[in-house]
Amino acid sequence: MNDKTIQDIPVIAIDGPSASGKGTVAQRVAAKLGFHYLDSGALYRLAALAAMRSGIELKDEHALSEVAAHLNVVFADAEIRLDNENVTDVIRSEECGNAASRVAAYPLVRAALLERQRAFCQIPGLVADGRDMGSVVFPAAILKVFLTATAETRAQRRYKQLMEKGMDANIATLLQDIRERDARDSNRSIAPLQLGAGTHLLDTTSLDINQAVDRVLCLYAEISAKGSI
């Protein structure tokens, strides 16, 4: 990898609960810095979608790990293709998101996707978002951010997002789903969602996307100024 090893490439890890806005923030930060972007949640959603389409039960950890290990996936700009089918919008459904949360709780599935995630770390840098980017996938990340907001705020944001895409949504159902996914993600035995040491907490309840992006960029600039990069 040129004259740089993966340890030399700056990584910004943005973790947080469902619908916290971390994906949009991470994408915009990556674009501002000219870095690569990893949406780790998409990989788990893809694994869940592929499993459901193959008739595999979401409680069959070994079968799910095989699906995860052999995903035929291509990320091309803003498009995500599974077995050469554009599934960019399909994997954003609530059904797929809830299934992904269950799939992601299995150690064998997480192990199957680990190296695939780390392969996204390329020059000049990477912004990665997920649940365990800073704690497990990129523990040496130059900047770790835990981005969150109240469950009610996140439900409102998800509702607006789904309505804009023409998908049916119910606020009460979304709020319940978010709370259940928070509990599942925080209490799983492997790589639970949590605020780790050295991680900056960023509550976006009262911030818009641009403000959140600016906060992350400022944190990165401060680290750069200290000569850590």
- Tens of pLDDT along the chain (229 residues) come to 444 455 689 999 999 998 899 999 999 999 999 999 999 999 999 999 999 999 999 999 999 999 999 998 888 777 899 999 999 989 988 889 889 989 998 999 999 999 889 989 999 999 999 989 999 999 999 999 999 999 999 999 989 988 888 888 899 999 999 999 889 888 887 777 888 889 999 999 999 999 999 999 999 999 988 865 5
Under 8 Å between Cβ of 201 and 17: no
Distance CA 86, CA 169 (A): 23
Query: Is residue 17 a known part of a binding site?
Result: yes
Pick the closest to residue 90 from 98, 78, 80 (CA basis).
80
CA distances from 52 to 12, 67, 91 (A): 32, 10, 12
Half-sphere exposure of 63 (CA within 13 A, CB side): 12
Q: Is the peptide bond prior to 124 cis by the omega test (within 30 degrees of 0)?
A: yes
Neighbours of 156 (CB within 10 A): 16
Distance CA 21, CA 82 (A): 24
Distance CA 38, CA 117 (A): 7
Enumerate the domain spans of the chain: 9-221
pLDDT at 224: 86
pLDDT at 192: 79
pLDDT at 169: 86
Distance CA 68, CA 10 (A): 27
Query: Is residue 227 a known part of a binding site?
Result: no
pLDDT at 2: 42
Classify residue 16 as left (phi > 0), alpha (psi -120 to 50) or beta.
left
Pick the closest to residue 174 from 193, 159, 195 (CA basis).
159
9-221, CATH topology level:
Rossmann fold (3.40.50)
Query: Is residue 22 a known part of a binding site?
Result: yes
Query: Is residue 23 a known part of a binding site?
Result: yes
Under 8 Å between Cβ of 107 and 62: no
Bridge partner list, 12: 127, 143
Query: Is residue 21 a known part of a binding site?
Result: yes
Half-sphere exposure of 76 (CA within 13 A, CB side): 8
Containing 147, the helix (H) or strand (E) segment is: strand 143-148
Distance CA 184, CA 209 (A): 26
Query: Is residue 55 a known part of a binding site?
Result: no
